[in-house]
Structure 1
Amino acid sequence: MLTNQGPDLKAGTDDLSHTQIMLERLAASWPRRAQVKKQELEPFFEAGKEDFLESLLPFRHMPQYLSSPPELKSRILSAGWLMYNAKTVQIETEIVNPTCLDILQGTMPGLRSEASQTAVCETMVDEVYHVHLVEQASRLTRSRRGLEDLVIPQFNLVGHMKKRQQGSADPGQRRMIQFATAVVSEIFISDYLHLLSESLEIQSFNRMTVAAHRHDEMVHSPLFMSLAQLFSHKLTESQRADFADVLAEPVVWFADRELDVWLSLLRQLDFPQAEEMIRECRNSGAADLTALDYSEIVSMAQEIGLLDSAAARDSFARQGLIA
């Protein structure tokens, strides 16, 4: 089980004091920067603009897709936008907010300070607002595009995390897996949102929805890196090895191309040869690590001493994150 005891490690007193100061500043800045404090976005629609970027489709170069009529391509792009929003909701509700609750309940070593608790409370408000924001955008798209009945299944990112948790009988280990997945997700989600938040090709309301979300997530990334440092500092040597092991895995989970979800959506859209196209996509691999800049994860792991042991380095190498 995880305890609140651990050895003195490389992250010295000065480093931890700096991290606490950063948390205090992040918490204090929330009333000024949080998008939930801003005026609500006003929905509107622009004729002739699509809902999603074709460059984000995993099958954009496949002949089956390229030969499709424009109307079907447009419906696929709308489904892609709904899928994108649904993944955002699942990240917030299945990964990040449960982790925040664990921290608030005092079950996470090193994360019981006032600054940690305040910043986490504010983060939960942010995340719930993000869910409201993207759900509003999805309802608008479903209504205007006639996709009210489109069903989006669970994403592999969430499924992989839950399967990994099910493999452990220790509640502390399960919380650690959830926390590691939240840290990785909060570091990567800003980049995940980047292309849509700046695109002038898609519906402006969609772009502004993503931009508002990204504004908050750019603060959540350093916040969760700080939480990871404080958490790691309070772990025993064996627990730190476990944390290094589980921290590497969500990077690959986040890079999953979610081809199972796409297959479900394409079937619902009556896309011809959906199975054949997705089967050919699988030949290129389920995950695409080249689409992620995971250098921040590696750097963070190095800075907080997680890669000091050979076992931890093996964990990162096994996932293809270091040589």
Structure 2
Amino acid sequence: MMTLQSYKSHAESWEQRATIRSRPRRIVEDDGLHYYPLERQPLCAHPAIVDAGDAVRDFILLQSFYKYINDVIIFETEIVNATALKIARGRFAHDFPFACRHDAMSVVIDEDYHAYVAMDYLRQVEVHTGVAALAANHEIELSRAIPRALERVAPPYRDGMELLAVAISENTVTAEVAAFSRDTTLKRSVKGVMSDHLADEGRHSVFWINLVKLYWSEIDEAARSALGETLPVFLKEYLSAELQLAFDRRLIDALDLPAATRREIAGDMVGAYPITSQHPMIVNIRNFFKLSGLLDHAPTRAALASVL
């Protein structure tokens, strides 16, 4: 069980390793490699897209990259930082010690820097390719999932629900960024941006897990039960593919293909993002629950059985 005495601050590590202190600017290069992994965009596997050739495929991957970067900016500045700053400034409903609040402020700095780097690199890519991004979503799955989960718990437990939601998503994103940084089909600069991001997110992952451990150890059984019962509501919304499918429909409409072909592709996209028990997001979420100790709580374990 995490206690105040066993919590270890990452302040010294941050001073030495934070990317804002130690990484160069990443510059886009012309190396013929992709901006986005083929395996993450099911559209590229559609026979009509394959037959359309490399130009159409590359346009899809480029627009998917733009969306991913925009989603990262929303996630880090509007969601993670909102919670981290609340903790850092002592405005969270639970009284965390200084070490936790100090570490939370370093997360705020890191995430704002990640968004800054993402904006810079996105602009470089637009200039380099001459292709502007399509209209982006103004929200991500978490933008809907967190408020809907908060509606389901009593006011005293809402900050706790927010903490759990952000901790789950931060650990999921860390695994996604790691997969990007290892992909040999991607441009070196894309992998560099993702590797830099990963250097910080690994530290964040541990921070959020430890914060949840500490929080969970200090709340009462009523709070644990209320939060555990609501976690499946959050996960259902978080794992929705609705916004991704909406983006893909806009992307299909923008392809330089006959209208009949575009209609065929759109019709085949239903169910293109199945979330099964073996999906990487589910695996990452399950690992988070194990590491954070939430599955040691029988009512929470029972509530999560239906989604994990």
TM-score range for the pair, normalised by the shorter chain length: 0.7 to 0.9
Cα gap change, 1:265/1:160 in structure 2, threshold over 3 Å: closer, same or farther? farther
> Which whole-Å CA distance do the structure 2 matches of 1:18 and 1:119 have between them?
15
- Superposition RMSD in Å: 2.5
Tell me the residue number matched to 2:92.
Answer: 108
Q: Which is further off, 99-108 or 251-260? A: 251-260
Tell me the residue number matched to 1:298.
Answer: 289
Contact 2:36/2:61, CA 8 A, preserved across alignment: yes
Contact 1:111/1:227, CA 8 A, preserved across alignment: no
Q: Secondary structure at the match of 2:250?
A: helix
Tell me the residue number matched to 2:24.
Answer: 40
Higher relative contact order (CA 8 A, sep 6+): 1
Tell me the residue number matched to 2:77.
Answer: 93
Aligned length: 300
Contact 1:92/1:131, CA 8 A, preserved across alignment: yes
Contact 2:41/2:64, CA 8 A, preserved across alignment: yes
How far apart are 1:89 and its partner, in Å? 1.1
Aligned positions of 1:73-222 closer than 5 A: 73-153=57-137, 154-165=139-150, 167-168=151-152, 170-222=154-206
Q: Which is further off, 52-61 or 208-217? A: 52-61
| Aligned counterpart in structure 1 of residue 253 of structure 2, from 267, 277, 286 | 267
Aligned positions of 1:301-316 closer than 5 A: 303-304=293-294, 307-309=297-299, 312-316=300-304
Tell me the residue number matched to 1:4.
Answer: none
Q: Which is further off, 247-256 or 203-212? A: 247-256
Cα gap change, 1:27/1:64 in structure 2, threshold over 3 Å: closer, same or farther? same
Tell me the residue number matched to 1:287.
Answer: 275
Tell me the residue number matched to 1:31.
Answer: 15
| Aligned counterpart in structure 1 of residue 212 of structure 2, from 205, 208, 228 | 228
Q: Which amino acid aligns with 2:66?
A: L
Q: Secondary structure at the match of 1:16?
A: coil
Q: Which is further off, 45-54 or 27-36? A: 45-54
Q: Secondary structure at the match of 2:36?
A: coil
Matched, 1:16 2:39: no
> Which whole-Å CA distance do the structure 2 matches of 1:212 and 1:241 have between them?
38
Contact 1:110/1:234, CA 8 A, preserved across alignment: no
How far apart are 1:17 and its partner, in Å? 4.3
Contact 2:79/2:166, CA 8 A, preserved across alignment: yes
- TM-superposition CA deviations, 1:24-77 (whole Å, max 9, x none): 2x1221111100101432413124222111111133432232222211111111
How far apart are 1:207 and its partner, in Å? 1.0
Tell me the residue number matched to 1:5.
Answer: none
How far apart are 1:126 and its partner, in Å? 0.5
> Any unmatched runs of 5+ in structure 2?
none
How far apart are 1:250 and its partner, in Å? 4.6
The normalised TM-score by structure 1 is 0.83
> Any unmatched runs of 5+ in structure 1?
1-10
Q: Which amino acid aligns with 2:57?
A: K
